[in-house]
């Protein structure tokens, strides 16, 4: 995993200052190619109806399902695209649970795991093929920092999984992500549904990716670069550093928080907040990330911003 160094961070890595358009999408969803309730066509239709711009069908890459990499290319249109993906499995966590790793942007001919191939090798093959690698639902099955450390090339942690939240109240992944960030590991965070049934487990968490167009390759490039933010509803409009302060602009919310290394934090609480400035000095030797919370308790999260390295 990428470690911090002492150079100056370039805020252009955030999505707000770069050209392009924000596209709403979900990176973790299942269909009947594995254990989902509906075929790909129906899953995509329902996400389109809910205003999504793209979807990754990440079916379980297991022998019992024929190691599917679901081909959704024919379901793309001028105003909706898909990312070729799978959820990889092989070997076990330290607690004995089977590994789950999200790989978005796989080639359709991605080979099944070889005999005795471990998760590091399988995931690294996906990474080398250009995939965005995510550590999914860590709280749901007890993924610990010592597990995460075997995948140093991972791009991100799934910091909110709506299906896991509804299934066993373990949808939050920021605890793991923050522990790794505190060690100096460079990771992003993404929110998803992990929908199987398209009922309680759907349309509860997503990302907004900044790209020049709704092109699968451009979306994937932005994902790998971290040019996105996650949400359950609120909109992040801008985050930048101005005169030693962190400027946050967003849709109307009741709380805006900046979180950093260890217990470091700043906050503003109120009603219908849309723009605040918070002091940056407590975060200057490491990182900060922004959380906003609306009146209904729904959140949006920025990716971590590193201030002491590129």
Same domain, 80 and 157: yes
> Which CATH number covers residue 102?
3.20.20.140
Same domain, 42 and 167: yes
Name the band, by pLDDT with cuts 50, 70 and 90, for residue 309: low
Same domain, 195 and 252: no
Neighbours of 298 (CB within 10 A): 15
Give the mean pLDDT of 195-217.
Answer: 98
Same domain, 123 and 249: no
DSSP assignment letter at 114: P
Neighbours of 282 (CB within 10 A): 17
Name the band, by pLDDT with cuts 50, 70 and 90, for residue 239: very high
Structural domain span for residue 282: 236-304
Residue 23 resides in a domain: yes
Instruction: Tokens for 19, please give them.
Output: 């050209």
Residue 6 resides in a domain: no
Same domain, 194 and 253: no
Query: pLDDT digit string (tens) for 264-298?
Result: 999 999 999 999 999 999 998 899 999 999 999 99
Please tell me the total count of domains within the chain: 2
Q: What is the pLDDT of residue 1?
A: 61
Residue 4 resides in a domain: no
User: Is the per-residue pLDDT at 177 higher than 60?
Assistant: yes
Identify whether the C-beta of residue 177 lies closer than 8 Å to the C-beta of residue 185. no
Find, among 272, 309, 300, 269, the residue nearest to 16 by Cα: 300
Give the rounded distance of the alpha carbon of 200 from its chain centre: 20
> Which CATH number covers residue 250?
2.60.40.10
Query: pTM here?
Result: 0.95
User: Is the per-residue pLDDT at 5 higher than 50?
Assistant: no
Residue 200 resides in a domain: yes
Query: pLDDT digit string (tens) for 72-118?
Result: 999 999 999 999 999 999 999 999 999 999 999 999 999 999 999 99
Same domain, 209 and 296: no
């Amino acid at each position: 995993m990428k470690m911090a160094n002492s150079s100056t961070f370039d805020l252009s890595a955030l999505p707000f200052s770069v050209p392009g358009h924000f596209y709403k999408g979900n990176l973790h969803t299942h269909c009947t190619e594995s254990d989902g309730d509906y075929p790909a066509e129906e899953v995509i239709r329902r996400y389109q109806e809910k205003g999504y711009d793209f979807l990754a069908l990440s079916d379980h890459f297991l022998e019992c399902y024929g190691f599917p990499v679901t081909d959704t290319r024919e379901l793309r249109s001028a105003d909706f695209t898909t990312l070729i993906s799978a959820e990889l499995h092989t070997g076990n966590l330290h607690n004995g649970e089977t590994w789950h790793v999200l790989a978005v942007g796989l080639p359709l001919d991605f080979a099944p795991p070889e005999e005795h191939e471990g998760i590091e090798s399988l995931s690294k093959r996906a990474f080398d093929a250009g995939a965005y690698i995510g550590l999914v639902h860590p709280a749901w099955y007890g993924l610990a920092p010592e597990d995460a450390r075997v995948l140093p090339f991972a791009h991100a942690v799934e910091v909110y999984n709506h299906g896991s939240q509804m299934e066993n109240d373990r949808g939050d992944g920021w605890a793991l992500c923050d522990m790794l960030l505190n060690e100096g590991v460079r990771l992003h965070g993404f929110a998803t549904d992990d929908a199987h049934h398209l009922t309680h487990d759907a349309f509860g968490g997503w990302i907004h990716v900044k790209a020049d167009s709704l092109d699968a390759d451009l979306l994937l490039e932005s994902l790998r670069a971290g040019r996105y933010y996650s949400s359950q509803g609120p909109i992040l409009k801008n985050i930048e550093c101005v005169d030693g302060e962190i400027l946050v602009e967003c849709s109307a919310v009741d709380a805006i928080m900046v979180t950093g290394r260890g217990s470091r934090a700043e906050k503003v609480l109120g009603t219908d907040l849309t723009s605040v400035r918070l002091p940056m000095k407590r975060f200057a030797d490491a990182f900060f990330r922004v959380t906003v919370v609306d009146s209904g308790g729904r959140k949006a999260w920025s990716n971590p911003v590193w201030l002491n390295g590129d």
